[in-house]
Amino acid sequence: MTQNTISTKDGTQIFYKEWGTGQPIVFHHGWPLSGDDWDTQMMFFSSKGYRVVAHDRRGHGRSSPSATGNDMDTYAADVAAVTEHLGLRNAIHIGHSTGGGEVIRYVARYGGGGRVAKAVTIGAIPPTFQKSASNPDGVPLEVVNGIRAAVLANRAQFYRDLSTGSFYGYNRPGAKVSTAVSDNWFRQAMVGDIKAQYECITAFSETDFTADLKKITQPVLVMHGEDDQVAPLATTSRVAAKLLKNGTLKTYPGLPHGMATTHADIINEDILAFIRT
């Protein structure tokens, strides 16, 4: 096992961890977390004979704070720098939420030439997250602005509320609540830089991935919980799967935005089956 950093063109230090041998699987985390959100998946897939890699997005986790470049184009370029440094070929890229958008942008721009074999998105934001003329049923601007205001006012409280509420569906009647899971989410979020996390809100809410989705030719598994209270299924993954040339939509009744954690046993096996197909 190695833990390392690379320096991007603008001097930002991107942290990554990787271990194992075999076909590479690269994991892209959601906002405002870190590569640690994939620990369960990394242990599972490394045990199945894959080389697993997870990075911390700039300004998140153990990567250095970034005053600039907190946008989807730069995020994808940072991933390209990591994959080039590690010499990854024929890789599987898996992204959750904002990380799903990062996967789509990365694969569309850098995934040719044998670099990417397949991709998976989980509860992801593409093609667009925020309500607009082209996405009239998206998340209203006032909701997104509410996130901005809450992060500025008291991000610790906002992150605590999100991790104990809608993110994992813990606000649903009869939900099986894990304080440890919420605490781990909170731990990851608070390590990150507030400026980078704040600017990432614009990246995940306003970026349009329509052209990226149409460009991708590799097989993509689009996974989404039907009780996702963060990224609305109807305006994100249902639309994204139709825009992909080789996309497959798989939805999960009753599962939340953070289903890769709460239902890792189901999600991991379904990803493994897709990879092996």
> Which residue is catalytic, options 34, 224, 228, 237?
228
Of 97, 182, 205, 237, which residue is the catalytic one? Answer: 97
Contact present, 235 and 243 (Cβ < 8 Å): no
Q: Which helix (H) or strand (E) holds 91?
A: strand 91-96
**Helices 264-276 and 39-47, interaxial angle, to 10°?**
50
User: Is position 97 annotated as part of the catalytic site?
Assistant: yes
93 is catalytic: no
Cα–Cα distance, 174 to 148 (Å, whole number)? 30
Write the single-letter amino acid at 110: Y
Is 188 within 8 Å of 34 (Cβ atoms)? Answer: yes
Amino acid at 21: T
Is 7 a known active-site residue?
Answer: no
* Catalytic pick among 55, 96, 224, 257: 257
Q: Which strands sit side by side in the sheet containing 247-252, from one edge to the other?
A: 2-7, 13-19, 51-55, 24-28, 91-96, 116-122, 220-225, 247-252
| Structure-derived torsion over alpha carbons of residues 161, 163, 165, 168, reported in degrees to the nearest 10 | 170
Are residues 35 and 17 in contact, defined by beta-carbon separation less than 8 angstroms? yes
For 155, phi then psi, to 5°, come to -65, -30
Separation between Cα atoms, residue 221 and residue 253, nearest integer Å? 17
> Cβ distance 50 to 25 under 8 Å?
yes
Q: Which two three-digit tokens encode residue 94?
A: 């898996």
Using an 8 Å Cβ cutoff, are 15 and 61 in contact?
yes
Active-site residue list: 97, 228, 257
